[in-house]
Amino acid sequence: MSVFFKMNVSVTFIRPFARYLVPLTFPKKRNLYSAIMQRHMSSKIPAVSYPNKESTSPPEQLELDGWKTTMKSSVQEAVSTVPSSKDEDTVAATRELIEMWRLLGRNVPEHITEEELKTVMECTSKSAQRKYLKYLYIKENLKRAKLLKKEMKAAAKKEAQKANLFETTEENKEQNFLFLRFWDRHKNIAMGWKGAQAMQFGQPLVFDMSYSNYMKPKDLQNTVSQLLESEGCNRRDIDPFHIYFCNLEIGSAYHRELVRYYGEKWDKLLITATEKSYVDLFPKDNIIYLTADSPNVMTTYKHDKIYIVGSFVDKNIQSGVSLAKAKQLNLATERLPLDKYLQWSTGNKNLTLDQMTRILLCLKNTGNWEEALKFVPRRKHVGFLDISKHSEELLNRLKKAKTFNSFPKRTLSRQTQKSWYE
Amino acid sequence: MTCLAGIRSFLKLWKSKPYLGLGPGHSHPCLFLTDCGLRNQQRWFSLKTMSPQNTKAVNMLAAKGRLVKKRDEDGIKQISPPSLFAAGAAKKRSEMNPPNKDHTVLLQRENTPLPTKPLSSEEWDKLKEDYTGKGNFENWIGAQMSRNHSSVDVAKSLLAWVAAKNNGIVGYNLLVMYLHICVFHKQTSEVVDVYEIMKARYKSLEPGAYTLLIRGLIHSDRWREALQLLEDIKKVLTPSVRNYDDCIQGALLHQDVNMAWNLWEELLSCNLTPMLETLKAFFDFGKDIRDDHYSSKLLDILLYLRNNHLYPGESFAHSIKTWFESIPGKQWKGQFTTIQKSGQCSGCGNTVEPIHLSPEEYDFLKEKIMMDVIDGGNQYRKTTPQELKRFESFVESCPPFDIVIDGLNVAKMFPKARESQSLLEVVSLLAKQNLQLLVLGRKHMLKQSSRWRKDEMEKVQKQAYCFFADDISEDDPFLLYATMNSGNHCRFITNDLMRDHKACLPDAKTQRLFFKWQRGHQLAIKSVFPGSHIIFQHTVDYDTVVQTTGDSWHIPYDEALVERCSYEVPTKWLCLHRRT
């Protein structure tokens, strides 16, 4: 280290000198510093003396090593930019590492809290660490973008208010209204009424909450947000289900997350949350467990049955968990007739909980499969199979000759798409 | 797009029917014929898929099969190379069925050509003005240059230009880019310069830069500082195997053998799998060393390869051979050979290790399969407890089986033939050899349908023990358990590679054990076309693993030009033995 410093110092003393010497003593020599000097000294004069020497002069003529000196000499200034803490514990080291990754342009967050840093260090593998840091990076970016948007909106609103103040103060007073503006509150009250009615007379829809130990914390969070979404769309429906959260143990991760998301509202929700299992609440013969692994296809929606949806986001490949559960309890199972109605292309046949709820609600109200399966994400299928025109017999025949099954339909839809893309 | 896909699938159709005279599969009948010629060495039998008209011919063939059987001892030793698990077999299989879509990756043409010689700052300015992409020009051009391995001078001129614009400061990412180029072009003095700069400017670096510095510094006189950098990485992360590889190479380059071995120990203690290059470096270095301690360490490395089922590459195999032959006084002689089907080395004639598991290993594996593959913590996932009980008592009530057949897999082998017919053919062929058979299937096979004829299924049930699982249960775990339960002589017939069941096993060691057992016990049906003969691909009798008898070493290795899948084993061997 000491040797290096000595060298460093000596070089730094000579170099700045050279800077001034070079353009003066050898005015013909075009190097980088002379160019800079020229620009500094006569910035108004356009650089007429553009060197067309690139063919004649060998590359050594360009001053290429100059930056090294400045880089080495600016030690103190540079260190201060890097957050440096004296204690050599790994926390600080990790923080520095993340900072260096950020300088390198990796996808890591700019600011990281102690807690997140702890999570980073607890990651078992490098790829887990990288994924988590990327997740934080994206989260940070989204947050920043949101904040920016909010500020812009606030500014725009202020502008608009200012403009409004001068124009329409008197007009408003003269208008006659039938209702006061309490739309949201009225809507909520009405939904509450409907919800209360559903609690009394509605068809039960059960969410089976017994999968918490099959999921990682993040999947569990996703599950809970899907449950929230499901409950929301059920509440808004014209004829809501009576929702049951079965096997929901108080104090479990599910329960904690739900209470955290709903807050005070949790106790006022018009649903039944219970620690009991659905087999205790309902007669076994009436229960139908919905799972994509089921061998039985759902043909019609039955209004006297109790449908169960497993609240389970299956990111790992654990096929057949819900089917195993139904098998264990000896329950009837069904899956949605996705292949019958849709030309499936990519993606898992497992749908999210809110999509499932919407499909069931739609079936309950209309009984129309085409209408209900519109809630299946568009990216997962190419289009609807036109089976209403064919007789059942024809469908069977097509099924046998598998290669021709729905072939003309597919080509048609592909072709129409093609014209869109090209 | 649709049109093209249509044509491709058509092509596929043609290719997958080689008896039409197209495609690589056409060699099947020929292969069969050549097998005929080698009948004495390669034990096999075959059968024509029955169609009602030529039952006579089939009977004759079956009789032939019996003849062959008489000649053999246990009658079911059929081999037709290459084995299902031989290196490159999966590649060949995939070439038989080319994928529908060609993934042609179009390389993006840059709109700005990369400079080939150092530019002055004005020229850089001009280049920047021309740049139309999004993002920072300096970062973009830096990334492009390090990707295309521009010359050091060009990169340096870029840095000089950036520094001049920016008060002599160059960003960290550009510095790393430059370092990358220097390391790539082996410009050690430049690497040392950048190292000084980094040390001066930054308190700590990130693993990418550390890795580059280590790689650059090991060739210089200051290679010991690379070890210091390795320590720096360790503060936060586990160094990669490449870091260790570089350090070990550096230590060997500078004759510090102890340091190299210390790093090797450290690498193993981190549970990292070393790069084969590291091992090769030890062997290469060993040529010039006459030291018993060093030799025993190298033998330890070979044992490490054995225990972890690693196979050296071709050049590594050459290094091993050279090292052995360089040992004075011992007179090792090495040659590259293959192993015959019987398990004899073509080079020295010795027999390599058989593939049988030891009794302890066998019991261990059996229990693990029961625990993790069938049960898996929830018996309802693959079967039901009732069914499991039914199966267990069924297996108890039967004598040990010789062959367990995966009914559904065998039946679906021939897409043109009826399922029950194919199954019946395979079963009756095997039944003629007085083998105890077990056919595993699902209950739906018993229902009369166009694909499953009742009379044929009854014939199957007459000739073999049958167990039909529920339609929603998995049959493969039963297959595995029945085979294991019957003992070491029992084989199973399926073309399933069982990778999903292997994945259910808890650790790599058990998985390797399973793979070894599978290689020794799985019979796969080779011909997949109706109208051709059924050829069983028999199990190999020997284990493909690094092995020694003290006086000899047999080391399987990967050929440089053959792609091997994880579930395949090499076919080439290095045979080393001492001249007496």
Cβ <8 Å between B237 and A97: yes
Q: Does residue B109 have a pLDDT over 70?
A: no
What is the rounded distance in angstroms from the CA atom of residue B353 to the CA atom of residue B345?
11
Q: Check: pTM over 0.80? Answer yes or no.
A: no
Three-state SS sequence of B473-523: CCCHHHHHHHHHHHCCCCEEECCCCCHHHHHHCCCHHHHHHHHHHHHHHEE
SS3 state of residue B391: helix
Tell me the ipTM for this assembly. Answer: 0.74
User: Which of B119, B197, B209 has its CB closest to that of A71?
Assistant: B197
Angle at A16 between CA A13 and CA A19, to 5 degrees: 145
What is the rounded distance in angstroms from the CA atom of residue A361 to the CA atom of residue A365?
6
Q: Alpha-carbon dihedral of residues B282, B286, B287, B292, nearest 10 degrees? A: -150
Q: Per residue in B33-45, pLDDT tens?
A: 333 333 343 334 4
* Spatial CB neighbours of A240, under 8 Å, sequence gap ≥ 6: A194, A195, A198, A202, A234, A361
CB distance B263 to B244 below 8 Å:
yes
Residue A329 distance to chain B (closest CA, Å):
10
Cβ <8 Å between A64 and B156: yes
Residues in chain A, overall count? 422
User: Which of A32, A70, A328 has its CB closest to that of B120?
Assistant: A32
Q: Could you tell me the two tokens for A203? A: 């068809």
239-298 in chain A: CB under 8 A from chain B: 295
Tell me the H-state helices in B413-492.
419-431, 454-463, 476-486
> How many of the other CB atoms lie within 10 Å of CB of B330?
13
Cα dihedral across residues A20, A26, A31, A35: positive or negative:
positive
User: Which of A33, A62, A97 has its CB closest to that of B204?
Assistant: A97
Q: Which residues of B touch A103 (CB under 8 A)?
A: 171-173
One pLDDT digit (tens) per residue for chain A, 422 residues:
444 444 444 444 444 444 444 444 444 444 444 444 444 444 333 333 333 333 333 444 556 676 777 666 655 444 444 444 444 577 888 888 898 898 888 899 999 998 898 888 888 888 999 999 999 999 999 999 999 999 999 999 999 998 887 765 555 566 788 888 888 999 999 999 999 999 999 999 999 999 988 888 889 999 999 999 999 999 999 999 999 999 999 888 899 999 999 999 999 999 999 999 999 999 999 999 999 989 899 999 999 999 999 999 987 767 788 899 999 999 999 999 999 899 998 888 889 999 999 999 999 998 889 999 999 999 999 888 875 555 555 556 655 554 444 444 444 444 444 444 43
Peptide bond into B82 cis (omega under 30): yes
Q: Which residues of B touch A71 (CB under 8 A)?
A: 163, 168-170, 175, 197, 200-201
CB-based contact (8 Å) between A167 and chain B?
no
CB distance A291 to A322 below 8 Å:
yes
119-148 in chain B: CB under 8 A from chain A: 119-123, 139
